[in-house]
Each structure stands twice: as structure tokens, then as C-alpha cells.
Amino acid sequence: MQKSRAKAAARERGAKAAGKSGRPPNKTTPPKKTTRKAPASMQGTPRSTPLRETGQDAYINRELSMLQFNRRVLEQAKDTSLPLLERLRFLTICSSNLDEFFEVRVAGLKQQVAYGVSSAQFDGLRPTEALARISTIAHALVDEQYRLLNKTLFPALATEGIRVARRDAWTKRVQTWVKRYFQDEVMPVLTPIGLDPSHPFPKVLNKSLNFIVNVEGKDAYGREIGLAVVQVPRALPRLIPVPASRARTTDDFVMLSSIIHAHMTELFPGMRVNGCYQFRVTRNSDLWVDEEEVENLLHALKGELQSRRFGAAVRLEVADNCSADATEFLLEQMELSEDDLYRVNGPVNLHRLAALIGNVERPDLKYAPFVPGLPRRIRGERSVFDTIRRGDVVLHHPFESFGPVLELVRAAASDPDVLAIKQTLYRTEVGSPLVEALIEAARSGKEVTALVELRARFDEAANIDLATQLEEVGANVVYGIVGYKTHAKMLMIVRREGARLRRYVHLGTGNYHTGTVRAYTDLGLLTANREIGEDVHRVFLQLTGLGKATKLTKLLQSPFTLRKALFKMIRAETDAAKAGRPAQIVAKMNSLSEQGIIDELYAASQAGVKIDLIVRGICCLRPGVKGLSENIRVRSIIGRFLEHTRVFSFHAGGDDVVMCASADWMSRNLLRRVETCFPIEDQRLRQRIIDEALQPYLRDNCQAWALGADGEYSRVKRGKDTRVSAQEWLLERLSDGRHL
């Protein structure tokens, strides 16, 4: 009796924790503590609006909005105006996006159901209702992916001499080579596991390639097993080029799954293989660490990274010819239902086809390369410090080079007058030249402080390694604030110049990652402004030391002032519109899902404020609803580069306040992360950001999608208007040294 009461109490505690945090823990882990929120005094209070009477339809569900984004990505793969291999890339991006969606968002909803959380989110959907809708939409999206691959992209690639050949299309010469490849490169590392009482179903790695095999006959020990599992190590390449001497075309490839399938009988000598089907399991990949109970976050995360590979199953993908018995068996082993089953006509991991793009040397089937440009003021300068001291510099990536930021850190590392370097590192790459410069600076005796965010999702392992490297050379490495991810992008260099110390600062909307900076659109500010430098210094003091949050002069910061300041700026436009004065808001971001901000925008719309929102991904605001949001337009740009810029413009009585930020308008960014939002005060640069980062995207009629009042997106049609592609226009204007 006592045990049953204890279990019931544990379930109740878990349900409460799940309901508060919105993301309950795995069933195999203790309930996660409630995520801290900033005190109410920091958050600001949304203005009461008539939308409360409108009900649930005032908002769009976050998860369903994310699936809409993935559909827009998939539409790029259908666009015949794009280079063929780039269309394939968009297909693989859609696939990897869906993987993460299931690993995090679907996993979170399933955990809420497991803990009995039945309350609806602000959009009105309960977890069970959201999961049902997700299943319907996601199944249709996956079917569309494979139909596009098999009916359109593979035939188009074959026309260009690029083939991923199925087993039934292999010539005798290819079959001979494949057999030798299997015996030499594949078979030695495979371990078939017959399933019997002494060999239970193995732990299957998250998103790994596996086979369920139906075998008949007795083995060497007289056992009749019936079923076996073959797990394929991740070390093996999934796409293998056929040697030119054996290939039918210039670029012939075979999938590893096809090679193994063709030779499965060799793994079971003397047995008869009656069926062989590939499958893949997607698991809950959200890490759980009780940050208040661990003494060393780095060591705790190291332990959790291994468990991520074996989290609770959330999705099962199987070959579409998989037998009903094998499918039912797999679902039972994974504790999943039919709604979680996805039958696919092709490789179970489409993202692996991205390797084809790198292996094929066909520039005519890819985007034309470009050289990022440099602002005129930077070209030919001998000292980056001199340039920044003379005035602020804005860099618009990837159209303009990230080089000046790297040059600033490298110059600081070797400059005898530089005393200290402080930097936040949320995401960066292995062998980062920026990190190498920090290491060199630490070795030369400079005071180097690196705030490494160990909890950057899916980059935890890389960041742990990065932190270790920096610690080994004597840098001060800190991991941020318990309960709040540090997402701000800040770099500060302290340099002695004569009798005074001067701070040089870089603030950005994107990460210090030289790889993504070539693929993401972002803005960065280089400045020696004294007040901004002092603000950045105060934020670093918060993050590395102890003490109350001190007042900042120029910067806005989450979780303390940013949300409240956004409310204030939106309300100022609302009041102006009510008074009959001009009022306008133009904002660009990745996602918009914070209910308080949405309510303020609704109130502004009702007052007559003209609002244009450029939201790449999730948007929970419903535009164009009469009496609620008819003055709000929402559009999404999906193009060659991932739109990542966060920039907010307010008319402000004609002063045109322009702010750039590391934060989206989401609850996590505004209440549960350390973020910075910085002003662009130079009038010339302010106008430049409006002209480059906002207006072209409002005119775009090539890669733009408009969100309707029904929650559906439709392509913006050009009609008789002049063709405008914001990204192409910016490439032409800014790249390769051209700058107006």
C-alpha cells in the first residue's frame, strides 16, 4: 500500500513539473525541476486586449507552425528554377529538420502525455490533440519527400549522369565490385544478433541504420531463432561512389543499405533469409541534468551525452515493404503505436544523401560561388583597432566577410597593448580559427575569459572539448548561469592606449562559427563606443561573478529588460496611432511565439499601427484577422541562405529606432536565456540596415511566403512586378568587395 502511494505521489510530482516546464523528463529519469523564470518585475506585463474574447483561434500552435516551415523548405526542393543539387540539399535539410523536431518537440509532448499533463497551451491544443495533428501532417510530409525523391530528383539526376543505383539496376561489373566491397569493408564490422532469451532485442542507437531480418533454419547449436537484428556502425559511409572503371555514368553511387541488403545471407551461413528490412528509431534527445545538484556541469553533461543515444523512442521508420509481423514486433520493442510508424520508399535517413552534393564536381548544378565583400572603410586599413576607433562598423553576413571579426581577435592576441579578451561561445566549429586565436592569446599571457555554453543543443560534446582546450592553456572558462542558457553573442577586448583603457566590442545576431557564417544571414556591430563597452563589461561581470544586475545604458538584456522594453516600444507606437500620428513596426526574426509580445502586437494593430513581420520559422501570431490583426502582415523568406538576422525597427515619431539582437521573440529567449539587444545609433548605419536587412525582404517576390489568417502560407506571386530576390540583390550589392 505504501509503495503504491509513493508511486502515485511520484507521478503527481512529475505531472506538475511537466506542466510548469512544458517539457517533462524521460520516464527513466527523475522529474525535471521547474525551469526558472525571471521575477515578475523583470518580465513586464502584457497589456490587456480584446483578443481574450476571440478565444483559441487567436494563436497558431507552435509545433504545427514548425511543420509548416519544413513544408516551405521542401517546396524549395520542387523549385525547378534552382540548381538541381541544391534542390537535393533542401530535401535533406527538410529531413534533418524533421529529425530534430521529433527528437525535441514531439518527445516533449509525449512526455507530457506520459505524466498525465492534459492542460492546453495558449494556442488551445492539448498535448494529445497536438500529437494527433502532428502525426497526420508529418506522415503526409514524409510521403511527399520520398515521392519527390523517387519521381523527380533521382530521374533528373540520372539525366545529368548522376545515379544512386538500386540493387535491381546493378550491372554484372557493379555486382562484382559491390560483393568485394562488402566482404572487405563492411562484413568485418557487422555483428548480427539472433534474438532469443539470451540475446534480447539490442539497444538501438538514435537515428542509426539497422535491419530486422527474418531467418529460417537451425544454426550451429541447433537453435531456430527466426528473427535477428543487424546494427550498422556509424563509421561506415552511407553513400559509396562506384569506381570509374565499373560505373555506367560519370557519377555512380550505391547506398550502404543496398550493399548490406544484397549480401545479408552471408551473415547467416546455412540459414535461409526470408526477409530483410531496414529501420531507424528516433529517440528523445533532450538532455536532463539537475544543474542545482551537480558540482561540475561539464562532467555531468559528459555523462548525459551517452544516454541521449538511447532515450525513449518517439518515431519508427521502416522500409515500406517491411512485413506486418516484423513491423508489429519493432513497434512493440520500441513501445510505440501505429501513429509513430513511418513507412518509407527509400533510405530511412534521407539526410545521408547530402554526401552526394559534396562528392559530385558539377558547379553547373550548384549555386555559383561568391567572395564575401568588405565595407569600404575596412579595405586597405593597416589596423582594425584604428578603423573601429574612428567609427562603428556593421557587417552583413554572409554577403560581407566575417574576416574583420577574426582579424580583431588575432590582432588582440598578438598586440602587446591588449590586456584582456572576453567572449561568449555558444556554437563554434572544431578547429575554429577564432578559438585558436584565443588559445594563442592565453599562451602569450593575456587575460582570456571564455563563457562556453555547454548546453547548446546538439553541440554539447563540441563545446565540452572546446572548454577543455581553453582551460589547458590557462584561459578562464565559465559555463554561464544555472537555469539560463547564455545565448548572447559578445566579444570584448580591453586595450591600453596611452593613459587610458579602451574597450573594443563585437555584438552579433549570429554565432562565432566560421562555417555557419557563410550559410546564415546575420548582422554584426564592431564598436569602440564607451557606453556600449561599459554595458558589455557589466554583462560579463554578471555571467562570471556574483551580484545584482546593474543598470545598462545602451544594451537591453534578457531576462531582465528586453521583454519589458519591447512592450514599451510597441506601446509607444500604439499610443502614437491612437493619437493620429504615424506609427510603424518592422521586425525580422527566426521565430515569434511569446504570447505577451503577440498580444501587444494585436493591440497595436487594433490601434492602427502598420506592422510588417519577417519571420523565417515558427509564428504563433495569426495575421489579417478582422478586429484583431488586420494591420499585421507576416512573411517568411526561404532561400539559399538561412535567414537568421534579428532586427527590430520602430518608427518612434520619425527617429527610426533600430535594434539588433541575439534573441527571437520567444519565451525561452526573453525569459529563460541571457540575450543582448543592441542599438544602431549611427544614422548612416541605421538607414543601411533598414535598406538591406528589412526593405528588400518586404519587396521579395521570388522566395517569399505570406501567412494568411487561416494559418496557411502561400507563395508571394510576382505577377507583372519586377523580379526581386532579397538574397540575390544583397549578393550582387555587397559580395566580392562591392559596396555602395
Q: Please write the tens of the pLDDT for every residue from 645-689.
A: 999 999 999 999 999 999 999 999 999 999 999 999 999 999 999
pLDDT of residue 631: 98
Report, in angstroms and rounded to the nearest whole number, the Rg of the chain calculated over CA atoms: 27
Lowest mean pLDDT among 52-61, 278-287, 355-364: 52-61
pLDDT of residue 721: 80
Over residues 306-328, mean pLDDT: 85
pLDDT of residue 462: 62
Please give the helix or strand (H or E) that residue 158 lies within, else none. Answer: helix 154-159
Cis peptide before 559 (omega within 30 of 0): yes
DSSP string, 43-100: H--PPP-GGGGT-GGGB--HHHHHHHHHHHHHHHHH-TTS-HHHHHHHHHHHHHHHHH
Where does residue 624 rank: exposed (0-12), middle (13-18), buried (19+ CB within 10 A)? middle
Res. 42: pLDDT tops 80: no
Report the greatest alpha carbon distance in the chain. Answer: 90
Lowest mean pLDDT among 391-405, 427-441, 604-618, 664-678: 427-441
Give the number of other CB atoms < 10 A from CB of residue 691: 12
Res. 723: pLDDT tops 50: yes
Phi/psi-derived region of residue 341, left when phi > 0, alpha when psi is between -120 and 50, beta in every other case: beta
pLDDT band at residue 222 using 50, 70 and 90 as cut-offs: confident
What average pLDDT does the chain have? 87
Residue 457 is placed in which grid cell?
543543443
Res. 30: pLDDT tops 60: no
pLDDT of residue 324: 95
Res. 369: pLDDT tops 60: yes
pLDDT of residue 245: 87
Lowest mean pLDDT among 186-190, 392-396, 548-552: 548-552
The yes-or-no answer on residue 263 being catalytic is no
Identify the bridge partners of residue 493 per DSSP, sorted by sequence position. 421, 504
The C-alpha atoms of residue 702 and residue 718 are separated, in whole angstroms, by: 7
Dihedrals phi, psi of 408, to nearest 5 degrees: -60, -45
pLDDT tens figures, 449-502: 988 876 545 555 666 677 777 878 878 888 877 778 889 999 999 999 999 999
Over residues 118-139, mean pLDDT: 93
Phi/psi-derived region of residue 226, left when phi > 0, alpha when psi is between -120 and 50, beta in every other case: left
| Residue found by looking up cell 534552382 in the block | 82
557-734: which CATH topology?
Endonuclease; Chain A (3.30.870)
Percent helix, percent strand, percent coil in the chain, to nearest 5: 40, 20, 35
pLDDT band at residue 196 using 50, 70 and 90 as cut-offs: confident
Cis peptide before 398 (omega within 30 of 0): yes
Q: Which CATH superfamily is domain 384-551 in?
A: Endonuclease Chain A (3.30.870.10)
154-289+310-365 is classed CATH 3.30.70.870: no
Q: Do domains 154-289+310-365 and 557-734 have the same CATH topology?
A: no
The C-alpha atoms of residue 511 and residue 423 are separated, in whole angstroms, by: 11
The strand ranges marked E within 376-489 are 393-397, 418-425, 447-452, 476-478, 485-486
**Of 518, 288, 532, 507, residue with least CA distance to 403:** 518
Q: Where along the chain do its domains lie?
A: 154-289+310-365, 384-551, 557-734
Over residues 42-69, mean pLDDT: 71
pLDDT tens figures, 93-114: 999 999 999 998 999 999 889 8
pLDDT of residue 417: 96
**Of 294, 310, 287, residue with least CA distance to 463:** 287
pLDDT tens figures, 566-610: 999 999 999 999 999 999 999 999 999 999 999 999 999 999 999
Annotated catalytic residue within 261, 263, 396, 487: 487
Dihedrals phi, psi of 136, to nearest 5 degrees: -60, -50
